[in-house]
Every structure is written in structure tokens, then in C-alpha cells.
Amino acid sequence: MDIFVPVVREGEAKRLPLPRYETDGSAGMDIIASEAVTIAPGRCEAVPTGLKISVPIGFEAQIRPRSGLALKKSIVVPNSPGTIDSDYRGEVKVILMNLGDQPFVVSPGDRIAQMVLTTVAKVKWEEVDSLDVTERGEGGFGSTGVSSSRG
């Protein structure tokens, strides 16, 4: 299913490719930096993309880390997934955090994150006196254990 998303490119983004799927099976499109940014160890920076988009109502654009940057360079998207709402019209910027011990330099044209367009369900609350009973109940934060064996 194709969804058409209006996009405006500003500044250096005009000479860079639009986000795209690198393979036919890719769920996310690679997002490209439009400006140079150096991220110090332990720090976060909002990396400009030079893109403004109009996400259709009923959808959100999620910004996710690139697995290679996370594994090889310790660069993550700390608010992953970041959300771009359907009514936001400002520049898309990607918050990157450097968990490594060396400065990380982002150059214009670098693929820095992935964007996934996904549907959003709207919640209508239904207040009740009690919830249904489940095997897990109120157990949380590790209550199901670590091991995959059940015994």
C-alpha cells in the first residue's frame, strides 16, 4: 500500500536524496542529515534533516535508530521511537545520543536514522470497576523472569 506524504526540502536537503527504502523488504526509510554535527561522548544533539513533512491524519512517522550505528558506533535515538505527529509542520530533526567514548561526527548526507510510517488508533476510555483476570495479573518489571525455559 502506498501512502503519499507531502515533503518540503530546505537548505542543503535540496541537494540530498529524499528518505528511501534501501531494499524492497525494508520497513524503514533511511533519514539523512543535512548539516554537520559533532556529538560528544554522553551527549545528545538534534540533527537537522532539512525536511518538513505532512503526515496524513491517522498515521505517525516514527524515528528509529539504525542498527549499524548503534552496534558499531554506539549512536542511538534516545527517545526511540520518536514520533512525528500528523499536525507537526516544523523541520524533522533526529535526536541522536553518543554512548561511545569518542566524539561522533555526522556529515551532511550521512544516513542517521530510520523513519517508519504507521497507523495510529485513537483511544476512547471506558471506565470500569475492575479489569479481567489474567495469569500474569499485576506482576511487572521482570515478574516473568529472564530464562526462556519454563520449569
Domain at 16, CATH number: 2.70.40.10
The answer to whether the CB of 133 falls within 8 A of the CB of 57 is no
pTM equals 0.87
Q: What are phi and psi of 33, to 5 degrees?
A: -70, 140
Q: What does the pLDDT read at residue 118?
A: 96
Q: What does the pLDDT read at residue 146?
A: 76
Question: pLDDT digits over 79-99, tens only?
Answer: 999 999 999 999 999 999 999
Instruction: Report yes or no on 67 lying in a domain.
Output: yes
Count the domains in the chain: 1
Instruction: Report yes or no on 43 lying in a domain.
Output: yes
Instruction: Report yes or no on 149 lying in a domain.
Output: no
Inform me whether the pLDDT recorded for 4 exceeds 80: yes
Mean of the pLDDT values across residues 38-64? 98
Instruction: Report yes or no on 69 lying in a domain.
Output: yes
Domain limits at 68? 7-119
Instruction: Report yes or no on 133 lying in a domain.
Output: no
Q: What does the pLDDT read at residue 151?
A: 58
